[in-house]
Amino acid sequence: MTAKLIDGKAVSQKIKDQVQMRVEKLKHQGVVPGLAVVLIGDNSASHTYVKNKQKTCEALGMRSDLLQYPDDLTQAELLATIDGLNNDPNIHGILVQLPLPQHIDEFSVIMAIDPQKDVDGFHPVSVGNMMIGNEAFLPCTPNGIIKMLDHYAIEPAGQHVVVIGRSNIVGKPVGQMLLQRNATVTYTHSKTKDLVYYTKQADILVVAIGVAKFLDSRHIKPGAVVIDVGMNRDENGKLCGDVDYEDVFEKASYITPVPGGVGPVTIAMLMENTVQSAENSLAKDKSGRTM
């Protein structure tokens, strides 16, 4: 068997087309969806991601404000900035680019974002709602993975999903969201004994560990669906995932490439969350409630 490529750019385009229609409709009602991206310090990888996000906003007719600060911004200054964005009616989504400098406490920053503008889906309120299956802003990468599976009619219900990685941003939520879709979920991580024992049982394998080309064909069973969340640079500085793509390609049924897989869909989901937030704010205005 040879795998079929899961085309992240195509899935992303489909989502963006739908978002664009919703943006047009909002504009007729006098609302321009606005995303604020807060970037602290001079991490070149962060700059690339942030530029991608801004370009996409502009292409879809959305407003995108980049708030850029030097490395020595204090936590108090950052919290004041977030407070200003929370109270700005033209801003519907707030994204504080991670990782943050050492002297700033990530949890305090995430807590400061109004859950109604939490388009990353990182706030404990969003996480809690996600956990119990309530409506919530879902984190962009896990939500993007679900959209990719949907697009290729890969049904997670009843399947054994094995997640490698337990970050709050990807590993934990993607497992929960697939559990919500009736998958049987196993979490594995850096302390798991005999990792291969688990990965070989996966119908759907989500790899989010941050080690270049960590996973190869020996880890998977024939016909597995392999979702590669990795974003690493190889020895030549080329972008590569956590999966040895060439090696796994022959054995898997579906596989996501890097670049062109999970990354572009993540950005599309950020756009979707932002337009959703703008729609929510309009609905609240109409019902006469305060925001």
Ligand X SMILES: Nc1nc(=O)c2c([nH]1)NC[C@@H]1CN(c3ccc(C(=O)N[C@@H](CCC(=O)O)C(=O)O)cc3)C=[N+]21
Annotated ligand binding at 165? The verdict is yes
Determine which residue in the list 20, 52, 54, 168 makes contact with ligand X, applying CB under 6 A.
52
* Residue 264 contacts ligand X per CB under 6 A: yes
* Residue 41 contacts ligand X per CB under 6 A: no
* Residue 125 contacts ligand X per CB under 6 A: no
CB atoms under 10 Å from CB of 106, counted, come to: 13
Q: Amino acid identity, residue 275?
A: V
Peptide bond into 115 cis (omega under 30): no
Q: Is 142 left (phi over 0), alpha (psi -120 to 50) or beta?
A: alpha
Please, what sign has the CA dihedral across residues 190, 48, 272, 258? negative
8 or 156: CB nearest ligand X = 8
The strands making up 225-228's β-sheet, listed across from edge to edge, are 4-5, 254-255, 225-228, 204-207, 160-164, 184-188
* Residue 259 contacts ligand X per CB under 6 A: yes
137 or 198: CB nearest ligand X = 137
* Residue 210 contacts ligand X per CB under 6 A: no
Annotated ligand binding at 34? The verdict is no
* Residue 266 contacts ligand X per CB under 6 A: yes
Distance CA 248, CA 240 (A): 14
* Residue 19 contacts ligand X per CB under 6 A: no
Q: Which residues are known catalytic residues?
A: 53, 97, 120
- Binding-site residues from annotation for NADP(+): 165-167
| Binding residues vs ligand X (CB under 6 A) | 48-49, 52, 95-98, 120, 140, 231, 239, 258-260, 263-264, 266-267
